[in-house]
Amino acid sequence: MDESLQTVNLGYAVPSVEQRNRVLRNTYWLLALSMVPTVLGAWIGVSSGFMATMGVGMSFIVFMVGAFGFIYAIEKTKNSAAGVPVLLGFTFFMGLMLSRLIGHVLGFANGTALIMVAFAGTGATFLGMATLSSLIKRDLSTMGKFLYIGAIMLLVAIIANIFLQSSALFVTIAVLMVGIFSAFIVYDLKRVRNGEETNYISATLNIYLDLYNIFQALLSLLGFAGSRD
């Protein structure tokens, strides 16, 4: 048996500690790099007003089709040289989709400050959850099932609120989104640390989506509070 693999009680081999740390480092580097096209996409979207011309329903459809299309393409190319460019293209698209919310918040007198607060809050959440993932020793595989169910329920609630336009449901969704995707960060990083996720492109995709949703939820909450002032 390859000495770089360690056999565990579950009956399958997992990468060595060195290999797992390499995947984690590559994930962090690619995650940091993915912020560049995200910011670029958001800047172009805000500057051009492209997303502002779409209705809420149409922008949601474009978002869902584009996001799932890119995710499918990333999974198909993650083991090839095209994997990183496709992922970065996806993050540019996600930044473009985020520009509608950013443009709305920038319309407030303290809009720039609200965006910085949301960014700082997302960063603090990531640091906290990343630290927690390194401290937890128990297996979190069962938690993943509940998190995925929660994410699906959130998606259903988001679709419903497009028609209901309920402020109370909007706030509830945003708060739950922060909680669920914060837990997802712990779960996704734990999978890398345990050797369950060995592809750094897939790992980056998962954690990027966690951070994206947390930032979007925090900014939505701050924007909602700002609109009430």
Q: What is the pLDDT of residue 13?
A: 63
Q: What is the pLDDT of residue 57?
A: 82
Domain that holds residue 94: 5-228
pLDDT at 9 over 80: no
Work out the pLDDT band at 14, boundaries 50, 70, 90: low
Work out the pLDDT band at 86, boundaries 50, 70, 90: very high
Distance of CA 7 to the CA centre of its chain: 32
13 in helix, strand or coil? strand
197 in helix, strand or coil? coil
Domain count, the chain: 1
Which DSSP letter does residue 7 get? E
The more confidently predicted of residues 131 and 58 is 131
Q: What is the C-alpha to C-alpha distance for residues 74 and 88, in angstroms, rounded to an integer?
A: 10
Structure token pair of residue 87: 């992922």
Please state, for a pLDDT cut of 70, what percent of the chain lies above it: 92
Q: What is the mean pLDDT of the chain?
A: 91
Q: Helices marked H in 136-199 — which ranges?
A: 141-164, 167-193
The per-residue pLDDT for range 30-82, each reduced to its tens digit, is 999 999 999 999 999 999 988 878 878 888 999 999 999 999 999 999 999 99
H or E stretch covering 97: helix 83-106
Distance of CA 220 to the CA centre of its chain: 15
Q: What is the C-alpha to C-alpha distance for residues 140 and 192, in angstroms, rounded to an integer?
A: 12
Half-sphere exposure at residue 146, Cβ-oriented, CA atoms within 13 angstroms: 8
5 in helix, strand or coil? strand
The per-residue pLDDT for range 156-174, each reduced to its tens digit, is 999 999 999 999 999 999 9
Structure token pair of residue 2: 């390859």
The per-residue pLDDT for range 90-107, each reduced to its tens digit, is 999 999 999 999 999 999
Q: What is the pLDDT of residue 93?
A: 97
Q: Which of 81, 67, 110 is nearest to 209 (CA)?
A: 67
